[in-house]
Structure 1
Amino acid sequence: MATGSNEPKSRYLQYLELLTGSLDDKKRWRRYKARVKQLPDNYRIAVEALERYLMQFGPADGAGAMAMFHDLADLFEQSAADGTPIRDIFGDDPVEFVETFMANYPLGQYRARERHRFTTAIECAAGENPGREDRTT
């Protein structure tokens, strides 16, 4: 069922990925979770808390999200190896840390589209963009 990197995907795999999402992303997610599981308890707890936050408010989806989570694992693996205290990673305001962290990643397609739709609707309501209706889909 696996295909080489240069092999075209079978119709079955294309259909399956259409329904379930990228199989490569699922494999990358499992590898990320395995890395997190290997962290010392306090680092793992912090990463899992960040993960929950990022799942709700994170800016990325698909490959962008995987890059973000991969970088998160890198950060905490290195911090654990260096013995960096959790509070030194986050500083006094964990929300400021996570917001700054998220700012380094592109918006997911859905969120970017909704942000655009929202700002366009407000512009129209404020009379700043007359005659333009929100037709973004």
Structure 2
Amino acid sequence: MTAGSNEPKSRYLQYLEIVTGSLEEKKRYRQYKARIKQLPENYRIAVEALERYLMHFGPVDGAGAMEMYDDLAELFEQGAADGTPIRDIFGEDPVEFVEAFVANYPLGHYRARERNRFTSAVERAAGENTTTKDRTD
């Protein structure tokens, strides 16, 4: 069955999606991951840190999450194409950036530990020395 088809899903596909989740969302996620893999290393590191943070605190539903991840990939692909430095994308406070970024999407709960971990990863990606140890890496 093709995406966007008006045909009803077979019982098998309906059952499979109950067990595994939406097959279309899984396909979109694999495409997103392939896009991120193509980014230059420092952009990829920053996106992976942001993604890890969002996995804990971002949208909980597949469709909302995938919309956000597609927007994230587009933002960093454009930044890499333009040669925009990591700090110019994130600004001085990566947590402030991520909170502004996810303001348009349903949110989960926030935890200080992940904020620190995320900020530290962005500092490393930007080539800055970090004073806070990231004990969870």
Fold conserved between structures, TM > 0.5: yes
Deviation at residue 33 of structure 1 after TM alignment: 0.2
Residue of structure 2 in register with 1:33 after alignment: 33
Q: Deviations over 1:95-133 (max 9, x none)?
A: 1000111111134xxx59xxxxxxxxxxxxxxxxxxxxx
Q: Contact 1:59–1:105 (CA<8 Å) still a contact in 2?
A: yes
Q: Counterparts of 1:1-137 in structure 2 under 5 Å?
A: 3-4=1-2, 5-107=5-107
Q: Contact 2:37–2:44 (CA<8 Å) still a contact in 1?
A: yes
Q: Which structure would you say has the larger RCO, counting Cα contacts within 8 Å and 6 or more residues apart?
A: 2
Runs of 4+ in 1 over 4 A off after TM superposition: none
Which residue identity is paired with 1:82? D
Q: Contact 2:43–2:80 (CA<8 Å) still a contact in 1?
A: yes
- Which whole-Å CA distance do the structure 2 matches of 1:63 and 1:52 have between them? 18
Matched residue of 1:92: which SS?
Answer: coil
- Which whole-Å CA distance do the structure 2 matches of 1:58 and 1:65 have between them? 7
Q: Deviations over 1:54-83 (max 9, x none)?
A: 000113421000000000000000000000
TM-score normalised by length of structure 1 = 0.75
- Which whole-Å CA distance do the structure 1 matches of 2:58 and 2:100 have between them? 11
TM-score normalised by length of structure 2 = 0.75
Q: Contact 1:60–1:105 (CA<8 Å) still a contact in 2?
A: no
Matched residue of 1:103: which SS?
Answer: helix
Gaps in structure 1 of 5+ consecutive residues: 113-137
